[in-house]
Chains A and B, each alone.
Chain A
Amino acid sequence: MKRFLIPLAVFFGLVVFLAIGLTLNPRDVPSPLKDKAAPAFSVPQLAAADKSFSPADMKGKVWLFNVWASWCVSCRQEHPLLVALSKEGKVPVVGLNYKDQGADAKNWLARFGDPYVLSAVDADGRVGIDYGVYGVPETYVIDKVGTIRMKHTGPITQESLQKQILPLVAELSK
């Protein structure tokens, strides 16, 4: 009897590990940018190409930095949440229009609603590389002094918004 107990214990140990593994999201790669200063850049704005945007413009505010594109299917999924969020006015959301065509991006916002204070244009993806973007949409929570406090990869869900992003924003806004 005893000789079966050890393999059985090993087996259940393995089951526990595999079960935990199944619940993890392989796309959720921890960002080394957390608690680091948001990389500086200066790029034109989508709505007004003659004006530029730089993260320094948001100093003193807690803000969300949302990377989006009109070609990105999951962006549509999270978009209604962002639109609702902007209506509540709890936190300003700045968009980064990532590797997109200006006309497509504007049409997309006209069709689905524009939750952004403004959208910065990252036509060649250079800003994206500095922010470690690899799967649009991505959302960063940036604090008053310009430090990245959180990175969310993939579409925002009601759950991640209520349980992680908004509590963090509330805490940072104090």
Chain B
Amino acid sequence: MKLHTLLLCCSLLFTGAALAKEAAPMAADIEVEKRMVAISEELRCLVCQNESLSGSHAELAQDLRREIRTLIAQGKTDQEILDFMVARYGDFVRYRPPMKPTTWLLWGGPFLLMAGGIAALIVFLRRRAKEDHAPVLSEDERRRAAALLDQSNS
């Protein structure tokens, strides 16, 4: 019985090996690959918009990674490669869009919201500090309180 199970496991293991695809050939140059990954992490895959170009399995992403490798091989700088992508797919392709009049709100918006939040907090705290004073009793109220205390003591 045990042997059976063992054999079954072995055979399953081997079918797995036979079915698995052959690993993609390693890039000739590890430096090129490193640069390609570094650049493609800055870029958005347009097919699956919330994935980076480096992490995406979409066919377009594979093509674009191949394109980046070609450009690196042609001796282009990182900036030139980014410009190449932006010229074709627009600023949207970059995860860190450049500062321009059209992106000011995008960059400044969070800080505007934070400033608004801090201002609201300050106003709120000041108002509360004013209200926080213990109520001052008038002479009449003080007498009534004393009378009540006396009553409960006796």
Contacts and interface: CB of A to CB of B under 8 A. Distances in A.
Which DSSP category, helix, strand, loop or mixed, fits chain A's interface?
Answer: loop
B87 to A, nearest CB: 6
Interface stretch (B9-17, B30-38, B88-96, B130-138): B88-96
Nearest to B50: A26
Contact of A132 (B47, B49, B89, B91): B89
A24 interface: no
Contact-residue size bin, chain A (C-beta under 8 Å from the other chain)? 10 to 19
A135 B86 contact: no
Interface of A: 26, 29-33, 99, 124-125, 128-135
A62 to B, nearest CB: 23
B60 A134 contact: yes
B46 A129 contact: no
A135 B47 contact: yes
Given A26-B49, A135-B47, A125 B63 contact: yes
Given A26-B49, A132-B90, A134-B60, 18 more contacts: A29-B89, A29-B90, A29-B92, A30-B90, A31-B90, A32-B86, A32-B87, A32-B89, A33-B88, A124-B63, A125-B60, A125-B63, A128-B63, A129-B63, A129-B88, A130-B88, A134-B89, A135-B47
